Structure 1
């Protein structure tokens, strides 16, 4: 359970019904009898119910004075759904790390699509890729209007390349040295039984642990933000591919040029004022000011946290992957018909 404890469930399915249900974990639950009530509430339920239905049955079976710490009815429902979907866990996979030299924004977009497809096809192990940027960019979501999000004249004046990614969500303003971006490419079994909203919290949980190691108290803020007491630290986006993979990528603010950002992004013309710039700075909480650490050191600490938690082997892009991404960047991600597919 993100931010909580382990919730596990063992069960059988007979004639489409749950049998021999046993919930366990390192959570805290009072009174002791509540665990028996949870198991009894799940016993005999149809296996086709969704996580919310299972959670509702658990919630209805518990007395009002039940104390649940590190566990919830919703977490039990998700655990049941994941058991039924034969979901995998982080440590079931041989995670690889790709941290290459700076690359153009369009190539980053293409690598996301190519590497997610390779993982889905089983030709690449699940991978954490840390991005390095060759130039400033605005990355707009798959469904955003280009002209509503970006001031083309200001983008050209500042040398900012505009690209469109394959995932949804909002526009991100990035500059080399001021941004930390990473992608996770995983088989869809890792998020099996989870809704999009549930999987955001699940896939971002390790980042909260890494930030905690850096002395930053951060939390997941639905639907797709990571925040601290001073404001937003990062924004995430996700796409599940038909090939059987999930792409989850996150952009974190190490530092921010709020003046340039508010000129390039159409956050609202009123936000170009001094008051608006101050508002943008307050809304985004850079890691540099919170940690006092160099960007590279923060990235190293994040990687080591992931490695200690799930295992991680250093890796490189294959020649075939890089060629496929370069071809896709040329044919799709630098093509105006894609970038302006929502004008």
Structure 2
């Protein structure tokens, strides 16, 4: 069995192993990491050898730490990364290049249609009817998108939303509210099969699926890092956040919103959570918590999206794709039956 795990912002960890009588055998670790002393590589191999095949990441990491000699230095990887690679080998996880990726960037649709498309395309990837896909959102009306489990009345100021022209909609993934002002954010969705993130914890899968974004932002001179659980940040503040939904058929939705520009005053008048988070952090304005890409780069939103697309294509060989008429039709039906209904919007009052 063979498993690989590219640590976000770090090195590649590769493991090869067998399972004999329910235990790991013939274990070998490799990768482009750094390790001192050299002999510690054999210590790691011996630590994993003989562990139960059902050992989780924490158990594997603990065994490795116990076996390392005093003063050993692991650079670019961790014992947990080895454990993740082992789990991915044992569940036959797939790498990015195992798939034929599509990149979709189509004309604007409503926020509700964007949300419906997320569900439709994730379902189709899970069913095997669509290739794994990266989709860049475009929208034609401003909206507040609240998380699946958020309370409408706790998160949104309805009067503020109406005053500033924001529709309010609810998505299928968890997490916090997104303020989708026109030309002020960059949102993308990844629709992937579960095998791509097999063997990973939820926390690890967030950073894994957004690693290409960090590379793209760094190529623009932004010191982008991933802050667990789901934030992309710079030294001066948060750039964006991600959310996930995993469907029973094996489709995984991972989508993220990056701040391109913002009006902190509007945010605090439309979102109640904006006020609470700001007071909790002891800051006096939204601008001090968020570090928009426009301020950092001076580039247009379109130029930043182009760099994101270029990076994804180069790393994973994606080709341009489209959303089919029947996929749009399914999404329109889902808007009518779900995303445009009060029952869905107020499912958590």
- TM-score of the superposed pair, with normalisation by structure 2: 0.95
Mapped pair 1:174 → 2:180: yes
Contact 2:189 2:254 in 1 (8 A): yes
Q: CA deviation at 1:79?
A: 0.4
| 2:109 counterpart residue number | 103
Shift of 1:269: 5.4
Could you tell me how far apart the structure 1 residues matched to 2:110 and 2:211 are? 29
Q: Which residue of 2 aligns with 1:309?
A: 315
Q: 1:145 aligns with which of 145, 151, 154?
A: 151
**Counterpart in 1 of 2:257?**
251
Distance 2:42 2:276 in 1: 58
Which residue of the partner structure matches residue 131 of structure 2? 125
- Name the SS of the counterpart of 1:39 in structure 2: helix
Aligned to 1:340: 346
Q: Deviations over 1:215-249 (max 9, x none)?
A: 10110001110000110000100111111011100
Of residues 11, 23, 28, the one that matches 1:5 is 11
Give the secondary structure class of the aligned counterpart of 1:267.
helix
CA contact (8 A) 1:105 1:137 kept: yes
Q: Take 2:182 and 2:283, find their aligned partners in 1: how far apart are those partners?
A: 21
Q: 2:330 aligns with which of 324, 328, 343?
A: 324
Distance 1:319 1:164 in 2: 24
User: In structure 1, what is the equivalent of residue 45 of structure 2?
Assistant: 39
Please report how far the alpha carbon of residue 279 of structure 1 lies from its aligned counterpart in structure 2 after TM superposition: 2.1
Map 1:223-234 onto structure 2 (within 5 A).
223-234=229-240
Cα 1:109/1:20, change in 2 over 3 Å? same
User: What secondary structure, in the 3-state scheme, does the structure 2 residue paired with 1:55 have?
Assistant: helix
Aligned residue for 1:285?
291
Q: Distance in 2 between matches of 1:270 and 1:42?
A: 46
- 1:64 is displaced (CA, Å) by 2.4
Q: Distance in 1 between matches of 2:315 and 2:24?
A: 32
Q: Any stretches of 5+ residues in structure 1 without a counterpart? A: none
Deviating beyond 6 angstroms after TM superposition, the runs of 4 or more aligned structure 1 residues are 270-273
CA distance in 2, matches of 1:270, 1:316: 40
1:63–1:270 distance in 2 versus 1, CA, 3 Å: closer
> Secondary structure at 1:212's aligned position in 2?
helix
SS in 1 for 2:273: coil
Residue 113 of structure 2 is aligned to residue 112 of structure 1? no
Q: 1:195 corresponds to which residue?
A: 201
Shift of 1:270: 7.8
Cα RMSD between the aligned structures? Answer: 1.6
Per-residue CA deviation, residues 40-73 of structure 1 (Å, 9 max, x unaligned), is 1111111011111111111110012001111110
- Offset of residue 271 of structure 1: 8.6
1:222 to 213, 223, 228: 228
Aligned pair partner of 2:93 in 80, 87, 92: 87
Distance in 1 (alpha carbons) for counterparts of 2:196 and 2:34: 25
CA contact (8 A) 2:13 2:85 kept: yes
Structure 1 position 311, deviation (Å) = 1.0
Cα separation, partners in 2 of 1:151 and 1:75, compared to 1, 3 Å: same
| Counterpart Cα distance in 2 of 1:119 and 1:298 | 27
Cα pair 2:278 2:286 within 8 Å, conserved = no
